[in-house]
Amino acid sequence: MVKTALLALMWGCISAVSLPLGALIGLWTKPSKKITSAMMAFGGGALLFALTIELFAHSLHRSHQGHDFWIILGTMIGAASGGLLFEFLNQILSERGAFLRHRTLIKKHIQRFKYHRARQMIQALSKVQILNVLPPDEIVHLIPHVKTERFPAGTNVVRQGDAAQKLYFIASGRVRVFRESGQTQALLAELGEGDVFGEIALLTDQTRTGTVQAKTDVELWSIDKSEFEHLLRHSPALQEASRSIVISRLQDIQTKDKASTEEADIWERAALKKLGRVSIPITELDMEREVKAHTGGGAALAIWLGIALDGIPESLVIGMLVVAAAAAGTKMSIAFIAGVFLANLPEAMSSAVTMQRQGSRFGKIFWMWMSLCFMTGIGAFLGAVIFPDDPHGGLRYIISGIEGLAAGAMLTMIAETMLPEAFEQGGGAITGLSTLAGFLAAVSVKLLSMY
């Protein structure tokens, strides 16, 4: 047992030595996205084969030998539980910055933030009479063009008499609205989070009728008039609605600038329904800002924890496979070890570069990845100790369930992080062909080990 466990420790460390190696390669060479993509997809393909043959097929074989359907059921329940558990833990870590380990996860994080922001904007727009009579499906198409602007306290956002070019939403902070007459100022209103100002600018050429000044530090979301006019030119429905507003409603906008609650609710629900069909673009600048926004040791630790989460099921599976191979008198599955090795390499390459951009030192990055290598070896060691080579009775079902748990977590990880990340960095052709190559390479290794 001790010899088998030490063998599992060795294979675990070998499979994960690509983590510190990949970190060094990434920091020194900064490889292209296409190379990283091909390597990640190749590793994913190899892992898919290894999981299918070494774990799920193993459960099928064990079930067939004992004519026991419950082993298969236990494996399936375990796999579903493993996928759900991985997703749950991944969400917790992502909220603390672990999403920074992959470009695709960064994009998903930004996408969620932008969608949440869009919902807030629609809720604010629903209360503005001059806009909520416009077709919700047309207004929603403005959301991807929203920009973020920040102003320190005491700064004028707009000045009375200036050309009106933007509509503003207050994301945070407060502003003062006042009108100047000679040397006097008349305070008209104070606006806070969720309020809107400048809506008339989208439909008329009027100048600003008052000055808006930041009372506190404020973050504003703005829609430029040129974006609205571009949408107007391509939308007959929006043109007609806008003309109707200018003719029949603009004259009394000063006395009735808020929609009725019922009308606002109906418009808001319709607009939110349309929002789900709009693609909100994510730019490289968005990605860069998100990375820079999460500087410090906390984000680096979250990335480390995220990679550790990815590696836990891998290490347990290695321990299981070593035990199974020892019991059967066969060799360890080199295909699985190669798949883990190749999958870890590009992941470490890209994540290490992200950690460096956040300000982490070279030595700290290297030893964080080296610690993951040791942890994978220890996980494989524990897997070999925990799982017996010839389980009997009820223990067989428990072992099958745990094997399924690890395999389900790995399959979820491959589908959620590895292959989407490969596609993001290299495109469909590279990802598809590299995944196939990895799968076939694992088949070849398996065949060679059998003869």
Q: What does the block give as tokens for 282?
A: 């994510």
> What is the pLDDT, as a whole number, of residue 31?
77
Share of the chain above pLDDT 90, in %: 10
User: Taking 80 as the threshold, does the pLDDT of residue 147 lie above it?
Assistant: yes
> What is the pLDDT, as a whole number, of residue 327?
75
Q: What is the mean pLDDT of the chain?
A: 79
Cβ proximity of 320 and 403 under 8 Å: yes
CA distance 377 to 409: 18
Strand 156-158 to 211-214 pairing: antiparallel
Cβ proximity of 375 and 310 under 8 Å: no
Split at pLDDT 50, 70, 90, the class of 9 is: very high
**What is the SS3 assignment for 158?**
strand
Q: pTM of the predicted model, to two decimals?
A: 0.62
Per-residue model confidence as pLDDT tens digits over 216-238: 999 998 888 887 777 777 767 66
Q: What does the block give as tokens for 101?
A: 């380990």
User: Taking 70 as the threshold, does the pLDDT of residue 127 lie above it?
Assistant: no
CA distance 106 to 245: 41
Of the listed ranges 7-11, 204-208, 253-257, 333-337, the least confidently predicted one is: 253-257
| Average pLDDT of the segment spanning 327-333 | 75
Q: What does the block give as tokens for 295?
A: 């500087």
> What is the pLDDT, as a whole number, of residue 387?
73
Of residues 10 and 401, the one with the higher pLDDT is: 10
- Measuring CA to CA, which residue among 25, 124, 116 is closest to residue 344? 25
CA distance 266 to 243: 22
Per-residue model confidence as pLDDT tens digits over 396-449: 777 778 778 888 888 888 888 888 888 877 777 888 998 898 888 878 877 776
Per-residue model confidence as pLDDT tens digits over 148-183: 899 999 999 998 888 888 888 888 899 999 988 877
Cβ proximity of 349 and 31 under 8 Å: yes
Q: What does the block give as tokens for 231?
A: 């949408």
CA distance 29 to 177: 54
Q: Give 428: exposed, middle or buried? Use CB within 10 Å, 0-12, 13-18, 19+.
A: exposed
- Hey, what domains does the chain have and what are their CATH numbers? 2-97+294-450 (no CATH), 115-281 (2.60.120.10)
Phi, psi of 205 (to 5 degrees): -105, 20
Tabulate helix, strand, coil % of the chain (nearest 5).
70, 10, 20
> What is the pLDDT, as a whole number, of residue 216?
94
Q: How many CB atoms lie within 10 A of CB 394?
A: 9
**What is the SS3 assignment for 340?**
helix
